[in-house]
Amino acid sequence: MLQNEWEKLVQSELKGADLKSLTWQTPEGIEIKPLYTLQDLEGIEEISSFPGLFPYLRGPRATMYSNRPWTLRQYAGFSTPEESNKFYRENLKAGQRGLSVAFDLPTHRGYDSDHPRVAGDVGKAGVAVDTVEDMKLLFEGIPLNQISVSMTMNGAVIPIMAAFIVAAEEQGVKQDQLSGTIQNDILKEFMVRNTYIYPPEPSMRLVADVIQYTAQYMPKFNSISVSGYHMHEAGATAVEELGFTLADGLEYVRTALSRGLSIDDFAPRLSFFFGIGMNFFMEIAKLRAARVLWAELMKPFNPKNLQSLKLRTHCQTSGVSLAAHDPLNNIVRTTLEALAAVLGGTQSLHTDSYDEALGLPTQKAARVARNTQLILAEETGITHVIDPLGGSYYVEALTHSLKRHAKSLIDEVEALGGMTKAILSGMPKLRIEESAAKRQARLDLGQETVVGVNKYTTEEEPYEILDIDEPWVRNRQIKQLESIKKSRDSKKVRGLLEALTQAASEKDTNVMPLAIEAMRARATVGEVSEALEKVFTRYEAPIRAIHGVYGDLYGHEKGREVDALRKRVEAFALKEGRKPRLMIAKVGQDGHDRGAKVIATAFEDLGFEVDIGPLFQTPEEAAFQAIAHHVHVLGLSSQAAGHRVLVPQVMAALKKAGAKDILVICGGVIPPQDHKTLYDQGVAAIFGPGTPLLVAAKYVLELLEKRQT
């Protein structure tokens, strides 16, 4: 009766409009009603559960934050090991409780800092680590038997893990005393982040080597952190992030079991890593659903230790939700995302700095990000009650719906033969890229609001940006490498690297012990990676692109604008004798290609011909391909702060080849104060994060039309 009365009251307030007008269809395909009641919880058994008890809906620990708050981490690493060490020590003094290390892209990709392919990337977006000496400097004065260390490393996991073990050993800390996590999640690299080295199958073998080694020798160390975060950042919906992440976890479990380990040998130390975005209640529901789903997925393996059933997770606030326009708004975004992670029951948390859409975080911005967590933990009172949103009609119904949708996606992956085979088919990557393109279109159309970007915009203000002197950092690393190679026993190192290559060729041999020996003898990250590469080869991913998604989402409100632009493209083609042709290139070692793929599908939908260059091109390779394909425009995508070195090198290569007629445009995270330098180099246009792609396409076409007149 009350429901009927409420519906009548609503209809009167809506002046007779259908109640359906208040429902909302999420990007996940979940219909959100304006009101939830007790009836919506009928048949959901897990809502009567308690924290610490199966299926862990309300948390993996019985007391949760009422006994111990989440671990406050800040993901950081930049420039040299000395600079990063200084940053870590200051943060530990200021209340941080654990370290999360960001390595630079050359390190991720198994290259030493002196490799010719990494000019422009050294010390950017992470710290450069080439040898044990760098690792020792990174943790100098930080007791590794007391501080938990999380390392985001996947491609070069073997040499980095080995260097960490040796650095601790030379600090006087035994490996069985080390606590923390190595990410070691290579499957998601093939889906979204692309900092892989070897093909999927041998990469999975190395994952198993790390799991097996840590299970035997490092009882306090988590051997894998299954990461949905990078899927989230690449544009995955909450369902895709949840489903694909847990499907990855299943694949790792089976891989470890294939080594003869029992489920309880390693499962208690598996951890997960999720991104937290701006759909507040969806993110809370995602973490709750993840725990229930994982417990149910692990139960058939019959663990004796209940810890094997528990999903423990680290969370990070979203980088992709940060806006370059009006960046102080990002403080509010990060705060809300951090609150969602806490209300969802995360075990540790990293909060992004407000200036990360402009460049690497400054000390000031990093302090605000860290204090955001301290304020939540110590000023709000939310740690005193376990799962405070438990029992909410909406949260419980949303949790159940999200769980059901994610389980359906997991079943789809399983039907393909598991995640490794699904990745080889290209399904997960294309699904996420389609979601990313749809979201960008919604933003461009104003269907989703980003304050200060596509609504309520203001004039730009200058902001302080952290500047890394890449040439200086690279030269410093090269000198260190030269010094170490002169002082080490080269014959011994060579023998150990040859033995490592032999071990890689033997299917049942764990390469970790030999890698530790090699790093102890002062082999480099690049040398160990290359020793494995001789057997495994270096992987080159096939280029797959989505088509039509972006154009299909333009409704009536933008239809005329799109049609007008397409007609202008046709007119250009009629006059030129061919369509305007754009090549999207990723130069350097930055594998984040979400933006590049979204741009490619949008421009193609608007009538351009579009080429996508392979990942990890050198500036010369990108210029050569642009010339060979006779493109009108070369678009350079930059996310890892290498633009000041790499873009001028592209311009120089084009000039040397006499291809000055090719327009060069840039997109991505490029600080405003760097724009003049790039324009002086001859760059025709720069499009920052949040630029509507219809606006970008119009501007590029205008530049080409001017050349025709």
CA distance 117 to 679: 25
Choose, from 350, 407, 429, 586, the residue flagged as catalytic. 586
Q: Which three-class secondary structure string do you get for 500-568?
A: HHHHHHCCCCCCHHHHHHHHHCCCCHHHHHHHHHHHHCCCCCCCCCCCCHHHHCCCHHHHHHHHHHHHH
CA angle 96, 101, 103 (to 5 degrees): 155
400 given a catalytic annotation: no
The answer to whether the CB of 333 falls within 8 A of the CB of 325 is no
How many helices (H) and strands (E) the chain has is answered by 27, 16
What type of residue is 329?
N
In the numeric block, the tokens 């860290």 are attached to 370
The runs of H, that is alpha helices, within 189-347 are 200-217, 229-233, 238-257, 263-266, 280-298, 329-344
Choose, from 75, 196, 463, 554, the residue flagged as catalytic. 75
Considering only CA atoms, which of 410, 401, 399 is closest in space to residue 248? 410
Tokens coding 511: 């390469």
Tokens coding 250: 């299943």
88 given a catalytic annotation: no
Outline where DSSP puts E strands in 296-399: 313-317, 348-350
590 given a catalytic annotation: yes
Choose, from 108, 124, 188, 230, the residue flagged as catalytic. 230
CA distance 622 to 612: 10
Choose, from 188, 310, 592, 597, the residue flagged as catalytic. 592
**How far is residue 623 from each of residues 87, 592, 686, 707, measured CA to CA in Å?**
38, 20, 18, 20
230 given a catalytic annotation: yes
Choose, from 229, 252, 463, 554, the residue flagged as catalytic. 229
In the numeric block, the tokens 């350079």 are attached to 636
314 given a catalytic annotation: no
The answer to whether the CB of 128 falls within 8 A of the CB of 122 is yes
Choose, from 121, 185, 590, 593, the residue flagged as catalytic. 590
112 given a catalytic annotation: no
CA angle 216, 526, 643 (to 5 degrees): 120
Which positions are annotated as active-site residues?
Answer: 75, 229-230, 586, 590, 592
